């Protein structure tokens, strides 16, 4: 299933999980994800202004996890089947990780447009945890 994430930690990061809240650096204007720590562009230890992105972007890279994946994913793969994992460059220029949904995980390619949607991620401690996944943009 992957690394253990306690319920308080899960709740603490809901903004990033559901909305991909970005931080705009007050010094240089660059967008950062997650919105804490030093700016990824100018290294300033500034406060970030919260920005909610459109949630659309382009696949930069993709991999498909299936049988033979690392053992921590075994139970998830047995339950969910093959998983498409992507790095998406949001239209705001920030790279974010995510899983594909609502499509054949082999179908989307690098450069394809995707949009954020909320889906079930997994269940832990008897609580279903939801978060953002990406689905192909239908034009």
Instruction: Identify which of 53, 47, 52 has the alpha carbon closest to the alpha carbon of residue 25.
Output: 47
Would you state the structure tokens that stand for residue 13, as one six-digit string? 């990061």
Is residue 19 very low, low, confident or very high in pLDDT (cuts 50, 70, 90)?
confident
pLDDT at 1: 44
Same domain, 3 and 62: yes
Same domain, 106 and 128: yes
Domain residues for 33?
A: 21-53
- pTM, full prediction: 0.82
Is residue 29 within 8 Å of 42, Cβ to Cβ? no
Same domain, 84 and 134: yes
Mean pLDDT of 87-99: 93
Same domain, 65 and 116: yes
Across-strand partners of 122?
129
User: How high does pLDDT run on average in the chain?
Assistant: 86
Same domain, 67 and 97: yes
Q: How many domains does the chain have?
A: 2
pLDDT at 106: 96
Same domain, 100 and 120: yes
pLDDT at 18: 67
Region of poorest pLDDT, from 1-15, 44-58, 119-133: 1-15
Give the CATH number for residue 7: 2.40.50
Cα 62 to Cα 71: distance, rounded to the nearest angstrom? 20
Same domain, 131 and 71: yes
Asked if pLDDT for residue 59 goes beyond 90, the answer is yes
HEC per residue, 63-81: EEECCCCCHHHHHHHHHHC
């Amino acid at each position: 299933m992957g690394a253990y994430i306690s319920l308080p930690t899960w709740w603490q990061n809901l903004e990033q999980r559901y909305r991909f809240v970005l931080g705009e650096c007050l010094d240089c204007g660059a967008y950062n994800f997650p919105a804490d720590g030093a700016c990824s562009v100018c290294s300033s230890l500034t406060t970030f202004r919260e920005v909610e992105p459109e949630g659309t972007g382009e696949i930069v890279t993709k991999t498909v996890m299936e049988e033979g994946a690392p053992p921590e994913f075994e139970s998830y793969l047995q339950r969910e089947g093959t998983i498409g994992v992507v790095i998406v460059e949001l239209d705001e220029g920030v790279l974010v990780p995510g899983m594909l949904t609502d499509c054949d995980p082999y179908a989307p390619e690098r450069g394809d447009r995707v949009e954020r949607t909320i889906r079930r991620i997994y269940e832990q401690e008897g609580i279903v945890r939801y978060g953002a996944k990406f689905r192909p943009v239908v034009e």
